Amino acid sequence: MITLALSKGRIFEETLPLLHAAGIQVLDDPETSRKLILETNRADVRLLLVRATDVPTYVQYGGADLGITGRDTLIEHIASWGGGAGAAGLIQPLDLGISRCRISVAVRADFDYGRAVRQGSRLRVATKYVAIAREFFAAKGVHVDLIKLYGSMELAPLVGLSDAIVDLVSTGNTLRANHLVEVETIMDISARLVVNQAALKLKQAPIRALIEAFAGAVAPLNPP
């Protein structure tokens, strides 16, 4: 049995064509079914629906053989395990090129970010992405106090909780709706395939076949 963990919503929707390319049809619709284990047309392949931030954990501990998760989630998970993907027993064979967005720094339109950085002010930054933010500002030599939040980051500068946020930006609509402006892009994000190191050894042929099918489906999406 090959078990693939992924989250509902955009990643699930954008993974379906990749699964089709690998000859896999999902038999349940996660939007209408309450099932957390989804069967497929292949008796030896099943999907687990988990929270996006839990995907690396399921794969690390072998609850799933493979997972699909954002680069952001993966970086934060690996940082919490001391920095090395190997330490977490995770192999990252493929950038799937789906669920693309970016992680950016945003501030209130009336906050002079450039000046604060030039003056060497200590910035208060609210984010869910503490490792990414810490690394980014450390590399710039900007002193920051990081405030960990779990969602609705856009609120923090509006109520004086922080000077800036570090958050995912896709269309930019959420920032605009909350009168925030993007001042720096930290990194581009897309969904990655992750594989449990031990599972890859034990189930090498079927897992490699799946990785190759995904790679073939992804290649047209990611021209060199």
Q: Which residues bind ligand PRP (CB under 6 A)?
A: 151-152, 167-174
Nearest approach, Cβ of residue 178 and ligand PRP (Å): 9
Which of residues 97 and 172 has its CB atom nearest to ligand PRP in the complex? 172
Q: Calculate helix-pair angle for 130-140, 71-80, nearest 10 degrees.
A: 90
Contacts 24+ apart (CB under 8 A), 207-212: 207/2, 207/65, 207/66, 210/2, 210/4, 210/22, 210/45, 210/66, 211/93, 211/94
Which of residues 67 and 89 has its CB atom nearest to ligand PRP in the complex? 67
Nearest approach, Cβ of residue 65 and ligand PRP (Å): 26
Which of residues 105 and 169 has its CB atom nearest to ligand PRP in the complex? 169
Nearest approach, Cβ of residue 12 and ligand PRP (Å): 13
Nearest approach, Cβ of residue 152 and ligand PRP (Å): 6
Nearest approach, Cβ of residue 171 and ligand PRP (Å): 3
Nearest approach, Cβ of residue 188 and ligand PRP (Å): 14
Which of residues 165 and 193 has its CB atom nearest to ligand PRP in the complex? 165
Which of residues 106 and 218 has its CB atom nearest to ligand PRP in the complex? 106
DSSP-assigned letters across all residues of the chain: -EEEEE-TTHHHHHHHHHHHHTT--BSS-TTT---SEEEBSSTTEEEEE--GGGHHHHHHTTSSSEEEEEHHHHHHHHHHTTS-TGGGTEEEEEE---S-EEEEEEEETT--HHHHHHTTPPEEEEES-HHHHHHHHHHHT--EEEEE-SS-TTHHHHTTS-SEEEEEESSSHHHHHTTEEEEEEEEEE-EEEEEEHHHHHHTHHHHHHHHHHHHHHHGGGS--
Which of residues 67 and 70 has its CB atom nearest to ligand PRP in the complex? 70
